Amino acid sequence: MRNQHARIAQLVGIIDRFTLLSGHWVAWLLMVMVIIQSLVVVFRYGFDSGSIAWQESVTYLHAAIFLLGAAYTLQCDEHVRVDIFYRDFSPVKKAKVNLLGFVCFLLPMCGYIIWESLSYVMQAWSIKESSANSDGLHEVYLLKTLIPVFASMLILQGFAEALRSFLILSGQPLPASDDHDPTAAI
């Protein structure tokens, strides 16, 4: 049984590292978005020139940051939580709430998002959907693909959080603190 708990802790660490890496990539996307938005403003008001593709790329990057950053936000425990009672709970009570939340809310919601978005994404890919603007970006189908990717990444990190809760409830030590502290590697 101890060996099984060690493998669970190792799996949690692997998922956490993947989520941490994706969170760092998203941070770079945020930097790119700020630079492009700044250029849009400078060119529009400084040179009376503009680009629909640049403006759309800011929108696409914003969507990508939101969608791809959700799992990292969950890992950092920065997601929206009605925290009136939770903050005062013991680690065991918090683990019960987190496990219940994953099974009853996060998993079904993300499963529903994946299920409902697949036909939407497949249709976008089948026609290689592009911008309604002729000067816009032509890869709308790639943006739409991020919807099931978002839900899948959220399920993966939620699974890691559920396993972490299972370890707490079974009285096992958690993985090393820097495996779960997303800011430790920054």
What are 39-81's pLDDT values in tens digits?
989 988 888 887 788 888 899 999 999 999 999 999 888 777 7
Q: Is residue 115 part of a domain?
A: yes
Q: Is residue 185 part of a domain?
A: no
Instruction: Supply the pLDDT for residue 79.
Output: 75
Instruction: Supply the pLDDT for residue 174.
Output: 66
User: Tell me: the pLDDT tens digits for 103-122?
Assistant: 999 999 999 999 999 999 99
CB atoms within 10 A of CB 147: 19
Per the structure, the complete domain to which residue 128 belongs is given by: 2-79+87-180
Q: Is residue 22 part of a domain?
A: yes
Q: Is residue 186 part of a domain?
A: no
d(CA 144, CA 52): 19
The number of domains in the chain is: 1
User: Up-side HSE of residue 53: CA atoms within 13 Å toward CB?
Assistant: 6
Q: Is residue 153 part of a domain?
A: yes
Residue 61 CB partners (closer than 8 Å, separation 6+): 29, 30, 32, 33, 36
d(CA 170, CA 175): 14
